[in-house]
Chain A
Amino acid sequence: MPLGNREGGCVGREPGDLTARVVRRAPGLALGMRKTASGDSKECGRVDQTAWMRVEGAARRRARTTTLVLFAVLAMAFVVSLLLGPSNFSPSEIFRGLFDGQGAAGIVARELRLPRAGLAVVVGAALGASGAALQGLFRNPLAEPGVTGVTSCAGLGAVVAIYFGLTVAHAFLLPVFAVTGALLSAGILYLLSRRGAGAIALVLAGVAVASLATALTALALSFARNPYAMADMVFWMMGSLKDAKPADLYFSAPLTLAGLLLLLSASRGLNALTLGEEAARSLGVDVASVRGRVVTGVALATGAATAAAGAVSFVGMVVPHVLRRFYGYEPSRLILPSALGGAVLVTVADVAIRLIAPDGQLLLGVVTAMLGAPFFFWLILRHRREA
């Protein structure tokens, strides 16, 4: 690089740099370039801006196309999900039942099929957005909601509710306990971050919280008073949308929405964290508040999802990772697309397991873990190669 003409605009830089390329590609702009030989940097900026706008325009088109494709796939999978089930109703009967709610088809459509399809969307959106925000916060593409201990604590809350037979007293008590468990773990992490714990300390604290919750869950299992409660707990922990009820949708959708809004409110801070914590703080970002909002948002969304569907792992890790190449690497751009992508993944997976095993032996959480874990290893290997 020549050290000369550093005060000048884009005059006389080495060939092959951006301005020169623009001139070659767009002869019309070359005239403008020649005028800048006097060093008029305004003109020069305009030419470079054109090149950048081309890059940015292409990125925007790619993102828009991806969004459209994801919406289309989601719509199709959602419809297929409504049509799948053990009862033999024709598609037209199901759709009629969905709209008028009359007869057996109406009950099946409204009480069974719609909650299951809707819950897949909500659970996927919650996990995808949580994963995207956490990866931004920890600046690590391997992060997912599970590392905060939120999933395990939500599971513990639910198991406690089942253990004490509270679910019999009122169906709403299970989600209340699960979300409370998630918020408890988030509260611990939040207090730690308020006291100045860094990202790595938070991850390790999340691991500790998760193992404590797992131990307490195991304790509840071994003290279970009857085998039915134990079976209930084990089944619930494996993660499934099989027994989705309308009530599950009613509580998980608003909680997930609230969590999503909290995550979105942290977007700006998450972007600034790309530069590291010191630089982000020097840009006026309250890093502790960003951590608090992300951790609480993840607890609300993931807690609600776990309460409704049990532990569904790896969705939060895989989805943002796949979408990054279509939406770019800025954390803020990935939160909403990851919600959409998560909804697609969980809905498609839930349809797939019903097509493969119509009797319901395949559970959603088991399948995502079986596919997600190898993906995780592949990711680690790829990162090692890149590093």
Chain B
Amino acid sequence: MSAAIVYEGVSAAYGPRTVLDGVSASFARGAVTGIVGPNGAGKTTLLRIALGLMAPTGGRVSILDRPLAEWSRDALARALAYLPQGSDAHWPVLSRELVALGRLPHRAAFAPVSAEDGRAIDAALERCDALGFAGRRMDELSAGERARVLFARALATQAPVLLADEPAAYLDPAHQLRLMNLLREEAARGSAVAVTLHDLSLASRHCDEIVVLSAGRSAAQGTPAAALSDATLADVFGIAAERGPGGTVSAIRQL
């Protein structure tokens, strides 16, 4: 089966500053792909390009076997669910109202929330263990609870591709694990899940594939053990790793 998102030699720039320089990578269906790299490596830009939030200056991107340019805005919104970095609710709406926004791509203008939307919303809340505060305002929740509701919003779209930018930030260790399990569940349902992470040990233990970006170029892609090899870690991050079972990263130290 082909990958859900394929980047071929993609370049991008913010004004004169090049952020991606001929990156090739792919996010497989039914798998969790972790995107790692130092700050400013281009992780977020890679996601934004697939979402059509930013135009690449070169290269090709295909989403679900079709070139990105052929996708209409609405179809793309149904195909890709996106959780931006540091997302938060700008109004203290009720949790369930916030999750309902994830159904916007499926609803016609001015259409009320349908029964099917309701089921998708409840299922998403339930999977994020957030049903308990569905009727509470976002500003009454803790940061971790808010993060779960915001994640449920992305799940409610029921898109075949889920892109999450730093979803593990602000979560305590237990919820980080729970989040990774949720991502795994999504992948088990056949979705392509791509997630940017800073925690290499989390990435190596919970992702099927890892894409390593370094200064706008793809440094490695493969299984966690292969992509996060000692050589790559030294080159890209300037660190060395202690290994757990299966070559996972269990601890890191400065080189």
Contact = CB atoms under 8 A, between A and B. Distances in A.
Interface of A: 1, 3, 6-7, 9-10, 13, 17-19, 41, 44-45, 48-49, 51-52, 55-56, 139, 265, 267-268, 271-276, 278-279, 281-286, 328-331, 386
Nearest to A138: B90
Given A10-B131, A139-B90, A330-B97, A283 B123 contact: no
Contact of B92 (A10, A18, A278, A329): A329
B179 to A, nearest CB: 11
B133 A44 contact: no
B255 interface: no
Contact of B87 (A13, A17, A48, A279): A279
Given A13-B129, A41-B126, 20 more contacts: A1-B178, A3-B174, A3-B177, A17-B132, A49-B118, A52-B134, A139-B90, A271-B101, A274-B93, A275-B101, A276-B87, A278-B87, A281-B51, A281-B53, A283-B77, A283-B102, A283-B157, A284-B104, A329-B137, A330-B93
A272 B126 contact: no
B242 to A, nearest CB: 25
B126 A268 contact: no
A48 B126 CA distance: 9
A380 B182 CA distance: 40
Nearest to A59: B94
Q: How large is the interface on B (under 10, 10 to 19, 20 to 34, 35 or more residues)?
A: 35 or more
Nearest to A270: B91
Given A52-B96, A272-B101, A45 B132 contact: no
A52 B94 CA distance: 11
Contact of B104 (A10, A13, A139, A272): A272
A278 B82 CA distance: 9
Classify the interface of chain B: helix, strand, loop or mixed: helix
Contact of A282 (B77, B174, B185): B77
Classify the interface of chain A: helix, strand, loop or mixed: helix
B122 A49 contact: yes
A275 B89 contact: yes
A18 B84 contact: no
A168 B155 CA distance: 63
A329 B137 CA distance: 9
Contacts of B181: 6
Given A41-B126, A139-B91, A267-B110, A279 B73 contact: no
A276 B153 CA distance: 13
Contacts of B134: 18, 48, 51-52, 55
Nearest to B113: A56
B80 interface: yes
Question: Which one of A3, A279, A285, A328 has the highest number of Cβ atoms from chain B below 10 Å of its Cβ?
Answer: A279
B243 interface: no
Contacts of B48: 278
Contacts of B92: 329
Contacts of B236: none
B199 interface: no
B90 A268 contact: no
A284 B87 contact: no
B64 interface: no
Contact of A283 (B96, B105, B132, B175): B105
B213 interface: no
13 contacts: A10-B126, A10-B131, A18-B135, A55-B94, A56-B135, A271-B104, A276-B87, A276-B90, A282-B51, A283-B102, A283-B157, A329-B92, A329-B93
A278 B185 CA distance: 25
Interface in B170-228: 174-175, 177-178, 181-182, 185
B109 to A, nearest CB: 6
Given A9-B126, A139-B91, A285 B132 contact: no
Contact of B135 (A19, A44, A55, A285): A55
A302 to B, nearest CB: 22
B8 interface: no
A283 B92 CA distance: 20
A13 B130 CA distance: 11
Question: Which one of A48, A267, A331, A386 has the highest number of Cβ atoms from chain B below 10 Å of its Cβ?
Answer: A48
Contacts of B68: none
A331 B125 CA distance: 22
Nearest to B75: A284
B101 A18 contact: no
Nearest to A281: B53
A7 B90 CA distance: 31
Contacts of B89: 274-275
Contacts of A49: 118, 122
Nearest to A41: B126
B88 interface: yes
B84 A276 contact: yes
Contacts of A279: 82-84, 87
A267 to B, nearest CB: 7
B49 interface: no
